[in-house]
Structure 1
Amino acid sequence: MEIVVVLVIALILFGPNKLPELARSVGSAIGEFKIAQKAAEFDLSDIEKYSKEQNEKKKADAKALDNKIKAMAAEAGIDPEGKKPEELLVMISEKMKTESIAVEKNESESEKEMTVKRLSPEELADLNKTCTEKAGEKAQV
């Protein structure tokens, strides 16, 4: 009943010539709306799928990073069992600091040895004389 009343009012307002054209435009608008709605639903599902993939990738990257940290700790001689990656990083950096201090001490001791092994002026003159004699012999050959 209500539909009939609406159709009669539409007929009176738009006339019999415009009514089929109006029905076509309403039908095409509804069809375009449905197409847009389906596209939006697919886009949302694609976004959800992409989001899930990114989360899985982040988890895999984090696990790979944790494994690398554990491998570094094992190489440094630290037992990685039962320790968080953050703790292992701190332990590795502390070990590196202590080892670099030991290396610096060894280098400074080597430098001391080098200063002890410096030649006296007489030894330097003899060495210079020997080098010039050998250079002269090579030039004659």
Structure 2
Amino acid sequence: MELTLTTPGLLFPTVSLLLLAYTNRFLALAALSRTMHAQYKANPDALLLPQIENLKVRVRLIRDMQFLGVSSLFLCVVCMLLLFAGMGRAGEAVFAGSLLLLLASLALSIWEIQISIRALQIQLGDLEPRKP
């Protein structure tokens, strides 16, 4: 397979949209963290602590997802420069690295979604009837 300049260029819109989605998730979690922190300060509730811890983990994951996504985009640009300079083999290696970083970012996204589901279960757990 021959790698051309257009191939890494195809990742630009994908990674850009992913970064936008990650940023939106981060902003939503930041707002929720501030709200829960204020709630806990005003009325310490043991139910809020695991939720706040959950948010801390999710914010760190989103930070890492963003880092990996930006790194993937960076390597795409490096790949394009290498291909433009006629260094096909090096460009292929860098492009493979870019794809691996993007894959890692997506894997963290799946992990963050799983944690998000657990957070909802904690939040809604007090609504379930207690079993005797």
Given the two structures, how large is their TM-score scaled by the length of structure 1? 0.32
Structure number with bigger Rg: 1
- Whose RCO is larger (CA < 8 A, sep 6+)? 2
Higher helix fraction (1 or 2): 1
